[in-house]
Chain A
Amino acid sequence: MFGEQQRFMLFLIAPAALLLGLFQVVPIVIGANASFRDWALYNPKKTWVGLDHYKAVITDPAFLEVVLPNTFIFMILSVAGALALGLGLALLLNRPFRGQKIVQTVLMVPLMVAPVIAAIMMRWMFNDQFGIVNAVLEGLGLEGQPWLVERWSAFGIIVLTDVWLWTPWFTLLLLAGLQSLPKEPFEAAAIDGTSAWRVFSHLTLPMLQPVIVVCVVIRAIDAFRTFDIVWTLTGGGPGRSTELFSLYAYVLAFLNLDLGRGSAAAIVGGLIILVVGIGLYRLVDRVTKT
């Protein structure tokens, strides 16, 4: 029935497909099934309610006016921040100097510690009473700030933590990309006396384009569903002012124990990022190519 090539292709993906099917597709299908039913975790009646949960989610003003904008702002800031910083660091590291190895190791530090622990540490560091940040500010004669009580400073700390966590990824991928670029165009540019900025924007960036596209798209999807660091740092507060989409779904499914509504919210978010991801792929592709 299958040709030799089809069989080969099938065998190549079979183990991955099997595992994906058992441990991701099956649970997701169970969750999707729950999203159409009256399925409280403590009292799973499992009666069919159609699209009620979806309607409730997409007509919830908090979801539309607070959660979605927050999620997109967070996604943009966090990805842009980590990309800019990662690219800068990759360029910096892409030249031999004494201590390069040490710098590279230090840059990998955020990958070594569990994100939840890092987030707790950040939260304490930004505490207005015992946090080191305010201690330093006050030592310099400045006024300490209640960082986690004001919406935008709390948001800034979330973004900062996320950028800190993910910059190493960008740096490593971009550095590896830089090091595999062909030498000749750069040598020619050096002979022509091309300015550093022109070399960067006309040579480096376009040649790094495939790496950047993948980094940005994968990272944007992950940023969209960021959960643990936000839950630890602010819990979505003060009020609901830093609530992101995954917190919204978590509160429904895990705190209110409404598996049906929570799954519906998660699926709505999944669909949004699915579409956004494709759009982003096209956009980044176009921007970096021109």
Chain B
Amino acid sequence: MKRREFIINTAAATAGVALMNKKSYSKERSVEEFMNTDSQNILIIIELFGGNDGLNTIIPYDQEDLYLELRPNLHIPKEFAIQFGDSDLFLNSGLIDGVHNGGMMNLMSTGKLAVVQGIGYDNPTLSHFRSSDIWHSGINSTDPNEKLLEGWLGRYFAKILNNYPDDIPAHPIAISLEGTIPLMLKSAKGDMGVSLQNPERFYQLGEGLTPKSLRYHTPTDSFHEREFNFIHVVAEQSEKYSQVVKEAYEKGKDKIKVNYSTGLPQKFRVISSLIAGGIQTRVFYMRLSNFDSHAQQMQYDYTGAHYTLLNNLARGICEFLDDAQQQGFADRIVGMTTSEFGRRVNDNGSRGTDHGAASMQFMFAGSDEYIEGGYYRVEGKPDLNDLDEFENLRHQYDFRRTYNDVLETWLGASPEDSRDVFGDTFLPLGILNKRASSVWEFIRPTENQDFLVYPNPSSGNLNIRFELKKYARVIIELYSTIGQRIEVFTNELLPGGNYNYNHFVYNTGEYNIAITVGNTRIIKKFIVIR
């Protein structure tokens, strides 16, 4: 059986995550190579603003009767949805129809796509703006009067860049392809990133923008001085980065290997040129709007507004990943979609849907080495029979868990960093694999792995074996798949040497084992079957 089929079938049959951590570091690579290479990692974020209808994106044909009953005017018939193999995963055909290279289905088959079902947060708000602020800030505040003024990435980058904005990095740390900087990139130190749409124009216009006058001293109580300083920094960045962006764009624009189609793909084209030209930006942000489909979301031929939007999204992602593959930077790319909420389970009679709560999320990567593709959900979820008081789907995964995959696994944050960013601990979902990790500073491989977890699946016995190179704190914790901590097995300072921990897990089911050493947290799946 091919590995991909194995994953998806398991997903349908059990709890829906990739079973084994396949990462074995079997290739001959030095520890040094593993170190400090995180800086090559690039994150693409596509916000689907308005609230994407998750149920018509990934269609719940495992609950066919209920789906048809709740969506009399707005269901996608089974023959118009596209099934992945013989699994429970049915995709909206807009994600595939006419899309480059077989669309999202091809990404699924090649293990580069993860579909996360049941993503959301406690006490969901049905307001676009509040919910969007919650997603952008990474703070779930139930008090609507609490202003959310900083973003999750903004806070993380502000932590890294101590002297910002007095010292700004040589390359923009993040680029928004929209006219504005989204909340997720804002911080108390200012905007962590720049926005641009047309790199050539950006350059032509950037020259000579640095103001002749100096900034005022901070902090200041004067409103005028505060705003003056804010504008001053943007002006300085505009000039400084216009040069960097031009150089990268000029170098990279002719390296494009794919004919990008219209709409969102054109933004991907710009990103591809910049990366090909050597820009060292870590995060690219795009927004696709008009998901707020209260009316006329679908035409009678099952295409229409929502289909068109998904098609736009899929074209962008698939054209870009193929281009990246051909150009040779695919293994640096990881991407995710976000949307402030899903939509109401029952349609509203205007051939549309009202605001909902939990929904689905795509994560993708240019290389299957860095992502465990598959269908991530808790067994039997989303349950169209088990709705909240407003008849919306319940979430199983807090959205900060996939954020944390990105932060800890892809952008080099330590568990402590991510706790600072979110104000709480969220276990990464374990979708992404680290390119290289600082565990190799502390760990010598055991049978080609960092930590050997065996047997797996197990009838209850759990052994964790590893070799510590030098003195370090090691924390080993057992978590449920929905991210609740069940037990702390170990939290101690250990001298170098070989270790083998033995535990017994009583209840059958699927678990995550989180092992933290140095500043890195590694997630291992562990399954108990009897």
**Pair from one complex:** no
Seen from chain B, the residues whose Cβ lies within 8 Å of a Cβ on chain A are: none
Seen from chain A, the residues whose Cβ lies within 8 Å of a Cβ on chain B are: none
